[in-house]
């Protein structure tokens, strides 16, 4: 356990006790967290999900360089075999993903090929919802407005701490982190998860006083709102503190995505007990991975950013001894068509690779490279692995939680966890 971690916890504990001393109601989760902190709450394993917005082209990210058919399908967008960072004698990585290769060689990167789901939907919105809900029977409606990481937190943590499932980045709170008992917290930066109506010290102090619990024992909705306010403010204070105090020698790409992941590192290294995080790449960039045209130039930028960010993240986690307890994976709404289009791009398709990171993964290539000649009626690669099998692997083998409880059904786990 490193120095900074202890300092933060002690600070947290002191602050918690300080509030008790002042005679106000302590947020109900906080007392427990504060007491539990010196123990092992923060040793719990963490899952970080990275959304690659727009549907990345799997055949470019992980080119099946050994197949002649690949060069037929991709006359313009091909990655020449000599440039491919080879993972095995069939597939490799795009040269811009050299950081992934480093992680792979370090035993910290796995790729699962051909992930998809039956009767796929090529709407960005619906596709993303399906991947995030990961519910029985695909339809997100059956999941009652929750995502699988949210349900994981609901299952694993009986603690009502509001800051156990956190999404960092612009836009709506993503479905993936939303649980029933743990609705999840989302912010662009911890700085936005706070009261912004008054920045003066005097005003803030009054705000805090006005948002304390009142001595009102009646069980009514006002009390519920007040308790939520107390929880939110204290979570906000913790997150704000972690963000403002977080210093790291590691350089992240100076982008929305890089900053979001840096924030997540700050929270993990700061000792926050959150179990699930989310960040999205490509939200701020127009269209993200939705490269209907001009694909190579756009992918170069995105893959540099992705590789550098994930690499920085793990170096940063390693610095504080947290590398071993964090598993990161990428997902997207869909993949892209096998055949390139006439605009130097690719159209919506399916069966794409998922990447997993962290010392907890079984490094290497998993799943099966979809056949490049046996395509479906619309020219799409065929599904090899139901994406929920990857989640099942993460739940069963990494988090040690029965995946059926979260996914609603048995899925044979992909053997991608060490």
Partner 1 sequence: MKKRRREFNWQWLAVVMVSYTGVGFGQDEDDLTKANAALKQAQEEEKTAYDEHHSRDMARAATLEIARSERRRAEGALLSLREARKTLEQIPDAAKGAPAQKNLSDKIATSRKVVERLVPDSTAADKAAWEWLVSAQALRDKTAARTTAQRNLQDLKANAAEKAGVADADAMRRAVYELEALRAFEITHWATYQRANMQVLVTQTREAARIAKELAAAETDPERVKMLEQFAAQEAKEEIAAAKSVEEAKNAEIGAAISEIYPLKAAAMGGLKPLSPDDWDYAKARHLLVRAGFGGTPQEVKQLHSMGLYKAVAQLVEYYRQPAARVPFDPVPPLAPDLLEAKVQTDLIRNRAAGARRSVERGQVAKLRQSWLKRMVESPRPLQEKLTLFWHGHFATQDSVVNNSYTLHRQIQFLRENAGGNFGALLYGIVHDPAMIRFLDNNKNLKGEPNENLAREIMELFAMGVDQGYTEKDIIEGARALTGYNLDQASGGFRFLHNQHDLTDKTIFGQTGPWTGDDLVRLILKQPSTSRFIAWKLFEYFTYRDPAKETVENLALVLRTNNYALEPLLRNLFMSEEFYSSRAIGNQVKSPVALVVGLLRDLGANQLTSYAGLDSATGEMGQQLLEPPDVKGWRYGRSWINSQRLFIRYNTVSDLVKSAGRPEKKIGVDVLALLEKDEECDGPGKAVDLLARACLARPLNKEKREKLVSHLGDLPPRSEWSAKRTELNAKLRELLVLMLSMPEYQMT
List contacts with partner 1 (CB under 8 A). 125, 141, 145, 162-163, 172-173, 183-187, 193-198, 202-203, 206-207, 209-211, 214, 220-222, 224-226, 228-229, 231-232, 235-236, 292-293, 337, 341-343, 345, 347
Which residue, 299, 371, 381, is CA-closest to 68?
A: 371
Min. distance of Cβ 182 from partner 1 in angstroms? 9
Min. distance of Cβ 317 from partner 1 in angstroms? 25
Give the nearer residue to partner 1 in terms of CB position, either 69 or 180.
Answer: 180
Which residue, 43, 77, 76, 42, is CA-closest to 59?
A: 77
Min. distance of Cβ 229 from partner 1 in angstroms? 5
Give the nearer residue to partner 1 in terms of CB position, either 192 or 248.
Answer: 192
SS3 377: coil
Q: How far apart are CA 412 and CA 40, in angstroms?
A: 30
Give the nearer residue to partner 1 in terms of CB position, either 66 or 229.
Answer: 229
Give the nearer residue to partner 1 in terms of CB position, either 295 or 322.
Answer: 295
Query: Could you tell me how many helices (H) and strands (E) the chain has, helices first?
Result: 13, 13
Residue 137 makes CB contacts below 8 A (sequence gap 6+) with none
Alpha-carbon distances of 284 from 189, 280, 362, rounded to whole Å: 14, 9, 32
Sign of the dihedral defined by the CA atoms of residues 112, 118, 119, 123, in that order: negative
Min. distance of Cβ 231 from partner 1 in angstroms? 6
Give the nearer residue to partner 1 in terms of CB position, either 228 or 368.
Answer: 228
Q: How far apart are CA 267 and CA 272, in angstroms?
A: 5
Q: Are 154 and 204 in contact (CB under 8 A)?
A: no
Min. distance of Cβ 202 from partner 1 in angstroms? 7
Min. distance of Cβ 337 from partner 1 in angstroms? 8
Give the nearer residue to partner 1 in terms of CB position, either 144 or 402.
Answer: 144
Q: Are 269 and 316 in contact (CB under 8 A)?
A: yes
Torsion angle of C-alpha atoms 225, 228, 229, 233, degrees rounded to 10: 180
Min. distance of Cβ 165 from partner 1 in angstroms? 11
Q: How far apart are CA 21 and CA 240, in angstroms?
A: 23
Give the nearer residue to partner 1 in terms of CB position, either 270 or 345.
Answer: 345
């Amino acid at each position: 356990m490193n120095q900074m971690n202890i300092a933060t916890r002690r600070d947290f504990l002191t602050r918690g006790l300080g509030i008790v001393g002042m005679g106000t109601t302590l947020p109900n989760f906080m007392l427990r967290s504060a007491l539990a902190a010196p123990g092992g709450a923060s040793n719990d394993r963490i899952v970080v999900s990275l959304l690659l917005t727009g549907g990345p082209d799997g055949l470019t990210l992980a080119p099946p360089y050994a197949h002649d058919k690949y060069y037929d399908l991709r006359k313009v967008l091909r990655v020449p075999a000599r440039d491919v960072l080879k993972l095995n004698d069939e597939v490799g990585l795009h040269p811009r993903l050299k950081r992934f290769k480093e992680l792979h060689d370090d035993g910290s990167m796995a790729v699962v090929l051909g992930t998809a789901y039956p009767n796929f939907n090529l709407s960005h919105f619906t596709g993303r919802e399906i991947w995030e809900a990961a519910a029985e029977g695909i339809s997100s409606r059956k999941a009652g407005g929750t995502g699988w990481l949210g349900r994981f937190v609901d299952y694993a943590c009986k603690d009502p701490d509001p800051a156990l499932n956190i999404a960092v980045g612009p836009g709506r709170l993503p479905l993936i982190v939303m649980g029933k008992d743990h609705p999840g917290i989302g912010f662009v930066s911890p700085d936005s998860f706070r009261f912004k109506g008054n920045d003066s010290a005097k005003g803030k102090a009054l705000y805090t006083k006005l948002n304390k619990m009142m001595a009102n024992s009646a069980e009514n909705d006002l009390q519920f709102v007040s308790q939520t306010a107390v929880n939110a403010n204290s979570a906000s204070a913790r997150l704000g503190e972690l963000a403002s105090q977080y210093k790291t020698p590691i350089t992240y790409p100076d982008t929305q995505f890089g900053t979001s992941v840096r924030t997540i590192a700050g929270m993990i290294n700061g000792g926050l007990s959150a179990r699930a995080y989310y960040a999205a790449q490509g939200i701020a960039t127009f269209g993200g991975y939705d490269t209907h045209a001009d694909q190579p130039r756009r992918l170069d930028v995105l893959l540099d950013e992705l590789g550098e960010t994930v690499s920085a993240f793990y170096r940063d986690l390693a610095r504080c001894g947290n590398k071993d307890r964090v598993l990161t994976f990428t997902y997207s709404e869909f993949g892209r068509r096998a055949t390139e289009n006439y605009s130097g791009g690719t159209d919506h398709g399916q069966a794409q690779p998922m990447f997993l990171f962290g010392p907890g993964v079984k490094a290497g290539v998993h799943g099966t490279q979809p056949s490049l000649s046996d395509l479906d009626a619309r020219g799409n690669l065929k599904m090899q692995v139901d994406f929920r099998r990857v989640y099942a692997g993460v739940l069963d083998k990494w988090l040690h939680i029965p995946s059926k409880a979260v996914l609603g059904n048995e899925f044979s786990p992909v053997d991608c966890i060490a």
